A and B are shown apart, each in its own frame.
Chain A
């Protein structure tokens, strides 16, 4: 309940606008989406990988802002910390190990990826036609278990943040699985790259160099 109270004012504040029909919240969302598209095109155009990594960080930060506009603060938090923060650094560390520039691709080889992207994009746009309106109380996500979680969390668990209640208690087994996935990712990196790090963390070069 506390979460809802803390989050609601931001969107209500944005909703108050002098122009009926075009609310400030809508304008902000359109602006962020336009910035996202512009960033994506800039990333495609750019050949210098350092710039691409920076732009991908900006893309994540914009997505986080968009999630805040949609009142999904927990998701926004994760996106800002992981997408804009850690993964940008990891991509930069990756670039440090390879080339600094992306090689141009032959024009003939760009048609198949373009066709795949267009088909997938069209399918996604087609799928949005059936989607319920944002915040629709009768949407499938908000009835069935969703409504049950909201109704029963104050009695069952008494935790103000329902997201935490669902994540750690109702769906605790799922979250255990996610933690194991994170653990496995770290283990895979350790096995592939980090043998030198275990032995005191000394830097080591491969023998070919």
Chain B
């Protein structure tokens, strides 16, 4: 069990990174960030864990089969919001029709949150999928291989 310092650091950082990703995801209306940044941050947490503890343990938590589903689901949530607003009689992605009676644009807020959720899911799944695709091909490189 080498890399003791790395592993302890990764264990300390793992949960705060995920918490930060969720903060960025849901605070995107108010501060910098949004779905894209949150998705990448979330994927980075799992990639960091996989680098320290091995790909197998990461794939036990997030099986590779889930990731294509997550990628597609994210895009579908986004596009589905657009279809939903069309079904309500508005234009594609015209969020105002979700809550037409609201005086403080609740429809816009709901639409943005849902759409950002779709972006976050699609980006996080895609980033992890690309990492899995590369990292799963060969055994991890030895330390002296560089």
Q: Which residues of A contact B (CB under 8 A)?
A: 2-3, 6-7, 48, 50, 73-74, 77-78, 81-82, 85-86, 89-90, 93-97, 100, 156-161, 163-165, 167-169, 172-173, 175-176, 178-180, 182-183, 185-187, 189-190, 192-194, 196-198, 200-205
CB of B97 closer than 8 Å to a CB of A: no
Q: Which of A78, A172, A189, A202 contacts B36 (CB 8 A)?
A: A78
Determine if A183 and B145 form an interchain contact, defined as CB atoms under 8 angstroms apart.
Answer: no
A-B pairs, 8 with minimum CB distance: A186-B126, A194-B133, A93-B134, A201-B64, A172-B93, A193-B133, A73-B32, A81-B40
Choice from A50, A86, A163, A196 contacting B127 with Cβ under 8 Å:
A86
Beta-carbon nearest neighbor of A7 in chain B: B32
Interface residues on B, range: 35 or more
Would B131 and A168 count as touching, CB distance under 8 A?
Answer: no
Main secondary structure of the interface of B (DSSP, over half): helix
Interface status of B68 (Cβ within 8 A of chain A): yes
Given that A81-B44, A160-B29, A201-B59 are known contacts, is A186 also in contact with B139, CB under 8 Å in the complex?
A: no
Q: Chain B's nearest CB lies how many Å from the CB of A5?
A: 11
CB of B112 within 8 A of CB of A168, answer yes
Please determine whether B141 and A176 come into contact, CB atoms closer than 8 angstroms: no
Asked if A157 and B133 make an inter-chain contact with CB atoms under 8 angstroms apart, the answer reads no
Chain A proximity mask over B101-119: 1 for CB below 8 Å, otherwise 0:
0001100110110011011
Least CB separation from A205: chain B residue: B138
Chain B proximity of A73: nearest CB distance (Å): 4
A12 to B140, CA, bound (A): 47
- CB-contact partner of A158 in B74, B79, B105, B127, under 8 A: B105
Chain A's closest residue to B56 (CB) is A201
